[in-house]
Structure 1
Amino acid sequence: MTVDNSNNTRIASHSDLANLLKAHPAIDKLIKTNVYSYYLVYFTLTVFFITQSIRHYSWGHVTSGIAGGLIIWSLTEYTMHRFLFHWNPRNLFEKVLVYALHDVHHAYPRDVSRSITPLAASLPLAALFYFIFQAVFGKYAISIFPGFLLGYMIYTIIHDSTHHFPMNFSLAKQLKRHHMRHHYFDNRKNFGVSSPIWDYIFRTYSKG
């Protein structure tokens, strides 16, 4: 198994930026996420949209909408991780943005407060996706969006577990190995966290 050091070089190039952000507690606090706050916010939002969907549609419609939202999230997870979180920043603003969104997690992979996208970034993104869903799916967005949010929470649980728990049983162990290869062997591969399916489809899967 060949170790790829490009990610370490990229993180090292941000060392001055990391020190700068740490020197400003308000900024450093902004890019950290309280785990309990995260789950409270997204659990509340998910329950709210499911409740609203149940008020307007049958259980069959609601469950199919949630299933569709989960599938959309799965592809979104892969796409954002590959093309947004791992794009090469060209100026200071982009460096700060990429660092706050994701590079900080690669720099501190076992820091749970830095492994979740900050609420200051994820909530505006969630709102943007909701408006996109409304534009694309119209009145059905209200039953699809909670599946999308649920997928995000499932992704977060799996992601945190890969970094902080043994995950010894079969499927969990495979997911952990898949993500650890992304972190420690080749950050240009294995972008899926909750599922490797899109890595297989788009040929970014690596066994190491």
Structure 2
Amino acid sequence: MATRHVPGGGRIFKSPILEALTKTHIAIPLSLFWTAGIVTLWYSIAKLDVSWTSALLFFFLGAFFFTLIEYVMHRYLYHIPADTEKKRKFQYTIHGVHHDHPRDKSRLALPPILSVVLAVLFISLYRLIMGDFGYAFGGGFLFGYSTYLAAHYAIHMYKPPKNFLNIIWKHHNLHHFVGDDGAFGVSSPFWDYVFGTMPSSPKRKEAAKENLL
């Protein structure tokens, strides 16, 4: 599924209501989940008597754990093999449209309704597994998600910065312009190195020559 840069924004559903539900302004999920992450951290400290050191530890562990979930979902769900018509439609709906229209700013984040449902499910699971520590862990997870959204939006809408953050611009461009069978991490290339899904050096060098990175 190579990135094609089709002009305009792709349409997924014929129904204008369903189509509208696939789009969102980036400010909505950013403000929602950054706030939710901080409030959940505060709640675990102020209301559940979790020590601030433990809460911060679980908060940062949750943010780091999000990067793994991000990688796994991008690799195995968003890029599910489209070997049947149903799978092709499913894959295009959840991610393929982004590869065709990577600069469509209205589709650079999950719609808030779906993301809120998933957030509640994840935090409930962490609460079940970790007890009171699950709130701080979940808060970090939400903070990690919103930071990922900010990074993904910036990568597609702005020129790469001339500092250390440049690496995440180059890494995501590898995924879009060199090969979508690798470079699945957006927040960082860490898990691509761990699981061996970094594009080969010759591919990276060729992309650099063509000014794709």
User: So what's the TM-score if we normalise by structure 2?
Assistant: 0.83
Matched with 2:52 is: 59
User: Mind listing any 5+ residue stretches in structure 1 that lack a counterpart?
Assistant: 1-5, 13-17
Per-residue CA deviations over 1:148-182 (Å, capped at 9, x if unaligned) read 01111111111111111112323222111110110
User: Pick from 186, 194, 209: which aligns with 1:193?
Assistant: 186
Name which of structure 1's ranges 68-77 and 166-175 shifts more when overlaid on structure 2.
Answer: 166-175
**1:41 pairs with 2:28:** no
Matched with 1:27 is: 18
**1:84 pairs with 2:77:** yes
Alignment check: 8 A CA contact 1:130 1:141 kept: yes
1:65 is displaced (CA, Å) by 1.1
Q: Percent identity?
A: 30
The Cα RMSD (Å) is: 2.2
Aligned residue-pair number? 195
**C-alpha distance 134-184 of structure 1, shift in aligned 2 (>3 A):** same
User: Mind listing any 5+ residue stretches in structure 2 that lack a counterpart?
Assistant: 205-213
User: So what's the TM-score if we normalise by structure 1?
Assistant: 0.84
Structure 2: how far apart are the matches of 1:183 and 1:193? 11
Per-residue CA deviations over 1:105-138 (Å, capped at 9, x if unaligned) read 1121011111112223222221221122123212
Structure 2: how far apart are the matches of 1:38 and 1:50? 18
Structure 1: how far apart are the matches of 2:119 and 2:94? 14
Pairing of 1:10-159 with structure 2 (within 5 A):
19=11, 21=13, 23-55=14-46, 56-89=49-82, 90-92=84-86, 94-159=87-152
Per-residue CA deviations over 1:173-197 (Å, capped at 9, x if unaligned) read 2111110110112011100011101
Name which of structure 1's ranges 94-103 and 156-165 shifts more when overlaid on structure 2.
Answer: 94-103
